[in-house]
Structure 1
Amino acid sequence: MHTSPLAEALREFKYGGKRTWRLVFGRLLLGWLEDHPRWAGRIDLILPNPSYRARTPYPHVELVLAAAAAADDQRRWPIHSSGLVKVQRTPRSAGGNSADKREAARRHAAAVRIRRGLRDELAGARVLLFDDVLTTGAQLDAVGRKLQQRWGVERVDGLVLARHPWQP
């Protein structure tokens, strides 16, 4: 991911304001779901690992899911692009050590709320938590645990566009 064209595309999208990448990334998500119907067909909800709603230049993960939902013209996939909301800024984990990343992930999860009307759908559900880049997995783990412990989700799986190479 660090040296691929995907890395540059993600940087342009996430930090450079190139919103058109949301369409490509949304189609990638739909393509993955279509290519894995036996697994994806068991998912009850597809939710974002949310960005802070006032994030600059914009909440990018939610844009990818919204683009995927718009392209899903048969409404085959249970995509809720704004099902989870991050209500405040939290420290960035980029560049930190593992303890910093775990603390940032804990604070990120603490700032996550569910949208009204979704609470009833969460109890006993199988959720696919979507994010753009996986570094350590701490954020997805923290949000997944909150979904299970606080809102009764049965199972949480994560899906990301890219991952950083593992560096022990």
Structure 2
Amino acid sequence: MMQAAWTEDRFDRWPLPPPNRPVLVKTRQTEKSASSRPTWQEKMAAAKSHADALELCASVNGKRLLLVDDVFTTGAQFVTVSRFLIEKGGAADVSGLVLARTPW
């Protein structure tokens, strides 16, 4: 998806990084957060583990960011990754875009 967006932005309207140079990478495997019927505490624990495995490869200091995810379940991933970007990376603001939402 991001490859297509970057390729189609011929007029450089959006500050998208090249797909081969991500801004944020996961440095190690973490447990899956999408299991059947996890509790909120289990989702938050998995999300915190995920955020702890992240590394910034470019500065986001003072920037407004759009965090893109495929499925929104509880919001735990968005909360923890947004906190990481703001607290550790110095991002000014983090908004989210998801492709699907699981039913309540």
TM over 0.5: yes
Residue 137 of structure 1 and its aligned partner are, at CA, apart by 0.8
1:113 aligned to 25, 42, 55, which one?
Answer: 55
The answer as to 2:16 corresponding to 1:79 is yes
CA distance in 2, matches of 1:158, 1:139: 11
Pairs aligned (count):
99
| Stretches of 4+ aligned residues off by more than 2 angstroms | none
The answer as to 2:92 corresponding to 1:150 is no
Judge conservation of contact 2:67–2:95 (CA < 8 Å) in 1: yes
Aligned to 1:128: 66
CA distance in 1, matches of 2:52, 2:82: 12
Alpha-carbon RMSD across the aligned residues, in angstroms, is 1.2
Residue 106 of structure 1 and its aligned partner are, at CA, apart by 0.2
CA distance in 2, matches of 1:105, 1:125: 23
Unaligned runs of 5+ in 1: 1-63
CA distance in 1, matches of 2:10, 2:76: 33
Judge conservation of contact 2:69–2:99 (CA < 8 Å) in 1: yes
CA distance in 1, matches of 2:100, 2:15: 22
Which structure's residues are more often helix, by fraction?
1
TM normalised by structure 2 equals 0.88
The answer as to 2:26 corresponding to 1:89 is no
- SS of the residue aligned with 2:16? coil
CA distance in 1, matches of 2:45, 2:94: 21
Q: Which protein shows a greater Rg?
A: 1
Which structure's residues are more often strand, by fraction?
2
Unaligned runs of 5+ in 2: none
CA distance in 1, matches of 2:71, 2:16: 19
